[in-house]
Amino acid sequence: MQPRKEFFQHLQPFLVEGSQADTYANVAREMNLTEEAVKKSVQRLRKRYHQLFREEIAHTVGNAEEVEDELRHLCAVVGIVYVPDRSSSWND
């Protein structure tokens, strides 16, 4: 298994969907993993990133509706499409 920092450095370009410069296959070869293992790791990393991002926003607003509004606004500012995460609630 790769040290965590090195592992993250390989996967970090995939953190925001659509922003990667490399392919899963190339990263898998570099890390001596299967492509499927890289895909699953990226999926888990994105999920955790989104959870942490939502939590941070929740600390700056008053309720769940404001979290969604703030996420929509932030996505519009950076030019990405906002897709609500219905799998988690504001209180999670």
Question: Residue 5 corresponds to which amino acid?
Answer: K
pLDDT of residue 75: 83
Q: Is 72 helix (H, G, I), strand (E, B) or coil?
A: helix
Exposure string for 64-83, b = 16+ CB within 10 A, e = fewer: eeebbeebeeeeeeeeeeee
Per-residue pLDDT tens digits for 19-53? 767 899 999 999 999 999 999 999 999 999 889 98
Q: How many alpha carbons lie under 13 Å from residue 27 in its C-beta half-sphere?
A: 23
d(CA 44, CA 38): 10
Is the pLDDT score of 89 beyond 60? no
